[in-house]
């Protein structure tokens, strides 16, 4: 598991070619990156959309409601969600927040820093404390691996606030 994690971190932060020329990223925890890479904030290249901040009425069946426990590193599995909401709540909560294939779901509270790639066309609802990250030009699976890398998770943990549990704001 440690070797796998280290290999993913190296591929995400250094690229696939170990002989590529490097430059200083300017970010202490990231270190050196390939010279041809540009460094930018997430919100410069991606739409970061916060959850609706409402708790729906759960139903015995309906649309899958994905909340923090279902967000696991790498891929989201909405069909494994144990909570459901009505179609009306689905429309209300997902207003402008409709997860689509290629998007990234990110925990910004409690299970801080876990990213899941949406690789399904199945409709589902995002629960509270989750952020939807979208881009038409950028690769969501790459971003998922990057956000789950030790280089990024250590930076996120150092930026988190809170005494009971860590959280970060959307900005």
pLDDT on residue 33: 79
pLDDT on residue 168: 80
Rounded CA-CA distance 170/167 in Å is 10
Rounded CA-CA distance 171/168 in Å is 8
pLDDT in single tens digits along all 171 residues of the chain: 888 877 777 776 666 777 888 898 887 767 777 888 877 788 888 999 998 889 899 999 999 999 988 898 889 989 889 999 999 999 999 888 899 999 999 998 877 889 999 999 999 999 988 999 999 999 999 999 989 988 788 888 887 787 777 778 777
pTM over 0.85: no
Q: What is the dihedral of CA 106, 111, 77, 67, to 10 degrees?
A: -90
pLDDT on residue 140: 94
CB 75 within 8 A of CB 116: yes
Compute the Cα dihedral for 84, 108, 44, 137 and give only its sign.
negative
Rounded CA-CA distance 19/85 in Å is 51
């Amino acid at each position: 598991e440690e070797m796998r994690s280290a290999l993913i971190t190296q591929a995400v932060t250094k690229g696939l070619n170990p002989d590529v020329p490097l430059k200083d990223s300017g970010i202490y925890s990231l270190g050196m990156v390939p010279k041809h890479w540009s460094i930018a904030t997430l919100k410069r290249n991606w739409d970061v959309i916060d959850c609706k901040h409402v708790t729906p009425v759960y139903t015995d069946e309906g649309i899958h409601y994905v909340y923090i426990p279902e967000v696991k590193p790498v891929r989201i599995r909405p069909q494994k969600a144990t909570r459901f909401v009505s179609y009306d709540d689905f429309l209300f909560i997902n207003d402008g927040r409709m997860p689509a294939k290629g998007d990234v779901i990110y925990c910004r509270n409690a299970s801080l820093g876990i990213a899941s790639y949406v690789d399904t066309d199945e409709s589902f609802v995002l629960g509270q404390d989750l952020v939807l990250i979208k881009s038409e030009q950028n690769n969501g699976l790459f971003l998922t691996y990057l956000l789950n890398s030790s280089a990024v998770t250590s930076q996120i943990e150092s930026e988190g606030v809170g005494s009971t549990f860590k959280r970060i704001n959307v900005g």
